[in-house]
Amino acid sequence: MSDPLYITFLWHMHQPYYRDPVRGDYVLPWTYLHGVKDYFDMAAVVDETPGAKAVFNLVPSLLEQLADYAAGTAVDPFLVRGAMAPADMGEDDRLFVLENFFSANRQRMIEPYPRYLELLYLAGDGAGERHAERVRHFRDQDLLDLQVWFFLAWTGEAARRRFPDLQELVRKGKNFTPADKALLFERHREILEGIVPLYRRLHGEGKAELAVSPYFHPILPLLCDTKVAQVAMPRASLPAIRFRHPEDARGQVETGIARFREAFGFVPAGMWPSEGSVSDEALDVIAASGLAWAASDEGVLVRSLPDGLGAVREALYQPYAFRDANKGLALFFRDHALSDLIGFTYSQWDAERAVGDFVGKLRDIAVRAPGNRVVSVILDGENAWEYYPDNGYHLLGMLYTAIAETPGLELATFSEVLARVPERRTLSHVHPGSWINADYGVWVGHPEENLAWDHLARAREAAVERSPQVAALLAGGSDGDETARAICTSLYAAEGSDWFWWFGDDHFSPHSDRFDELFRRYLMDVYRLLGVDTPRELYEPIKKKSPAGFVREPAALITPVINGLVTDYFEWLAAGVYDLTRQSSAMHAAESLLHSFFYGFDRKNLYFRIDGVTALDKTLRDDDRLCLHLLLDREYHVTMSLDAEEGQLQVKGERGWRDTGRLCRWKIVRVCEVAVPLEAVNPEPGGSLFAYLTLTRGGEEAGRWPMDAPMLLSYAGPDLELENWLI
């Protein structure tokens, strides 16, 4: 009997460190909400599914936040407003609830519940500009129902099944009482209290392996030396001050392991380095900590092997050893495509079809190269599930079961794979990179990111110069008073990857200013604890404000697949972006349908992607027409519908619209993707064009984005290169 192909799922559990260093409150609620929705559910599905097995990687700073919430000591503005009696709310409190308590995936978390959807319509269908004028329409009962539904919608499916009274609240649906709300929060407290014990039990039973990340989720290679970024990005501009502190990397790893041991009672065997970021120096730090294995992305492996993965990709499905085949740190590399299918694609598929497709691909890997030993599927453990029906509960259970029951496939943890597959391929050197584009461009290279690194370097330098105890602690010592330890904690917190993720223009969030402020507050806290004046520059936001809605310009050529789905994280990562939620007006309720607008080009086409607040094929009607307008020397447009996939690009002349003779391709499923032939509009390289969107419903215009003026789109031409290293 041949050896099985081992399948290892690693679910990475991570949230930014949301706690304010001075006030002690939490500025955003996502640790709490993902706790009751995902961190409990993911373990519960493994617990109740025969044959299921997985690796859960838990970031220590996340464990710290979960402990605060479980103990009832965490305070955040969402919980405060959620607990308030509507009759006691002032105008600002009511407005806060309306502006924030629809922060949930509309398709999966609002629309399935008629009362929640009714409240959304009452609030103005999610258009923020209307909340202030809509507050007066909300009775106290409406606000109470909204409080309950927000926290109930964020409660996981497995959690609801374990607490029947939560299911009863779902069935009740409306006219909730203060007792109902109190019951909901009491069950949430029980769920939060049960998360760590559940993971600990699963590990003890062999159904899960628990792994760790560095304490505050920093990019370890950049802590070791920011200059390493230029290996993958030779033309990137780097911070003015070279950050080179491998001792901080060691400190983050060692304190992370210590916090993990405090929570679970044992030392973990493995680590998912933050964002899969590795380098030779970072792996030496991890190996020196005593851990047995680490993991990264296949893009890193491709660039680490002399011949890449080759035609059969057989090299991807093997365990490796770093430097020493017998004693070296073991390495695993994630299958990028398989991981992204779960993260981005299967949420819009029927669960049975998705499971069949995934298992079929695993069987193909087993048959194609019998020497394959392990397939590593690694992705975030919380972010995908709000796009799935029932929080992914049914798909996950079916997927574990199907793999466990398929001959030749076997679910295993990474430690089990190492015990059963003794042979290792040796890597004497790894390419320095992360799971995103096999470089560190998300965290360094943009002026905002570089400025943040310089602020961090100056604060660290000030702390070391003014406090010998801090210097000793950062160097690996253990003696230091409470103040010195607090300074080190704030420095470590400021080293977290999340602040740098939101700096620059490769990601955008309505909460970017909060992340910016939290990062600077951790550095301010260093100076406060040192007893010296805070540098004036720390009072200035790092995140620059852009014109309404504008996020970024294109950074590289793109050639997306026109299929109406975001099938790959990288497909649109280099595209230009506008945030349409900041581009609408209060004229039409339909305007809240659209969320963002992406644009880019290659040497043949202009490409556009339109994202809805929820999946467009679920919100657009059969008679709706979505029209893309382009303005150069003349105005062009293409009118798109659900029931077609190509149509004429038209141009406006003296006698109205006429066909150009050029066909545009589009597909509307979860999003709308459209390709417009460059030769049809002939934009000037180095120039620009303008764009706007309209939605026609029943023959009448029902929405326009932007309302006031078209979006300005830059067109660098076919020779566009990755000058700014945005990815």
Do 565 and 532 fall within a single domain?
Answer: no
Confidence of residue 582 (pLDDT cuts 50, 70, 90): low
405 falls within a domain: no
Do 582 and 653 fall within a single domain?
Answer: yes
316 falls within a domain: no
- Kind and range of the H or E run holding 151: helix 140-153
Which residues are within 8 A (CB) of 76 and not within 5 positions of it... i.e. 6 or more apart? Answer: 18, 25, 26, 27, 28, 29, 32
Question: Over the stretch 366-376, which tens digit does the pLDDT of each residue have?
Answer: 998 888 899 99
Confidence of residue 633 (pLDDT cuts 50, 70, 90): confident
Q: What is the mean pLDDT of residues 578-595?
A: 60
- Kind and range of the H or E run holding 417: helix 414-420
**Distance between CA atoms of residues 324 and 101, nearest Å:** 53
Do 573 and 628 fall within a single domain?
Answer: yes
Single residue among 486, 519, 539 that ends a domain in this structure? 539
Q: Please list the helix, strand and coil fractions of the chain in percent, rounded to the nearest 5, in that order.
A: 45, 20, 35
- Is a pLDDT exceeding 80 seen at residue 409? yes
Confidence of residue 559 (pLDDT cuts 50, 70, 90): very high
Do 514 and 573 fall within a single domain?
Answer: no
Residue 631's φ and ψ, nearest 5 degrees, are: -120, 120
Of 639, 615, 608, 636, the closest CA to residue 626 belongs to: 639
Buried b (16+ CB within 10 A) or exposed e, 369-392: beebbbbbbbbbbbebbbbbbbbb
pLDDT at residue 127, as a whole number = 46
Question: Over the stretch 693-717, which tens digit does the pLDDT of each residue have?
Answer: 989 887 777 788 887 678 889 998 8
Question: Over the stretch 510-543, which tens digit does the pLDDT of each residue have?
Answer: 788 899 999 999 999 999 999 999 999 999 999 8
Do 572 and 696 fall within a single domain?
Answer: yes
**Distance between CA atoms of residues 192 and 182, nearest Å:** 15
Q: List the alpha helices (DSSP H) in 531-683.
A: 616-619, 678-681
Single residue among 478, 513, 539 that ends a domain in this structure? 539
Secondary structure (3-state) at 210? strand
Other CB atoms within 10 Å distance of the CB of residue 539: 9
- CB 683 within 8 Å of CB 677: no
Cross-strand bridge partners of residue 671: 611
Confidence of residue 591 (pLDDT cuts 50, 70, 90): very low
Of 427, 425, 317, 294, the closest CA to residue 6 belongs to: 317
**Distance between CA atoms of residues 504 and 486, nearest Å:** 29
**Distance between CA atoms of residues 699 and 29, nearest Å:** 43
Q: What is the mean pLDDT of residues 599-620?
A: 92
676 falls within a domain: yes
Q: What angle do CA 632, 633, 635 make, to 5 degrees?
A: 65
727 falls within a domain: no
**Number of continuous H segments (helices) and E segments (strands) in the chain:** 27, 22
Single residue among 510, 539, 568 that ends a domain in this structure? 539
Q: What is the mean pLDDT of residues 629-654?
A: 91
How many domains in the chain? 2
Q: What is the mean pLDDT of residues 54-80?
A: 97
Other CB atoms within 10 Å distance of the CB of residue 593: 25
**Distance between CA atoms of residues 608 and 599, nearest Å:** 5
DSSP 46-92: HHHSTT--EEEEE-HHHHHHHHHHHHT----HHHHHHHS-GGG--HH
- CA distance readout (Å), 649 to 70, 400, 597, 703, 713: 57, 47, 19, 21, 19
Question: Over the stretch 114-133, which tens digit does the pLDDT of each residue have?
Answer: 999 999 989 886 444 455 67
- CA distance readout (Å), 4 to 210, 410, 415, 493: 23, 6, 16, 42
pLDDT at residue 308, as a whole number = 73
- CB 634 within 8 Å of CB 651: yes
Do 573 and 668 fall within a single domain?
Answer: yes
pLDDT at residue 548, as a whole number = 63
**Distance between CA atoms of residues 217 and 213, nearest Å:** 6
- CB 436 within 8 Å of CB 727: yes
Do 482 and 595 fall within a single domain?
Answer: no
Average model confidence (pLDDT) for the chain? Answer: 92
Q: What angle do CA 132, 184, 20 make, to 5 degrees?
A: 60
Do 581 and 694 fall within a single domain?
Answer: yes
Do 531 and 635 fall within a single domain?
Answer: no
For residue 273 the two structure tokens come to 């380095």
270 falls within a domain: no
Q: What percent of the chain has pLDDT over 70?
A: 95
- CB 665 within 8 Å of CB 695: no
Of 171, 165, 169, the closest CA to residue 147 belongs to: 169
392 falls within a domain: no
CATH of the domain at 681: 2.60.40
pLDDT at residue 219, as a whole number = 98
Look up residue 275 and give its DSSP letter. Answer: G
- CB 362 within 8 Å of CB 403: yes
What residue has token string 């479980």?
Answer: 70
Do 708 and 560 fall within a single domain?
Answer: yes
Other CB atoms within 10 Å distance of the CB of residue 546: 14
Q: Which domain holds residue 673?
A: 550-715
Look up residue 496 and give its DSSP letter. Answer: B
For residue 642 the two structure tokens come to 């659900």
- CB 726 within 8 Å of CB 613: no
121 falls within a domain: no
Q: What pTM was computed for the model?
A: 0.85
- CB 173 within 8 Å of CB 115: yes
- CB 108 within 8 Å of CB 618: no
Q: Around 517, how many Cα atoms within 13 Å sit in the side-chain half-sphere? A: 11
Do 496 and 577 fall within a single domain?
Answer: no
- CB 627 within 8 Å of CB 696: yes
* R_g of the chain, CA atoms, integer Å: 26
Look up residue 110 and give its DSSP letter. Answer: I
Q: List the alpha helices (DSSP H) in 422-547.
A: 447-466, 468-474, 482-494, 497-502, 512-530
Do 486 and 593 fall within a single domain?
Answer: no
**Distance between CA atoms of residues 444 and 228, nearest Å:** 11
- CA distance readout (Å), 380 to 12, 13, 344, 441, 442: 5, 6, 11, 20, 17
Other CB atoms within 10 Å distance of the CB of residue 86: 20
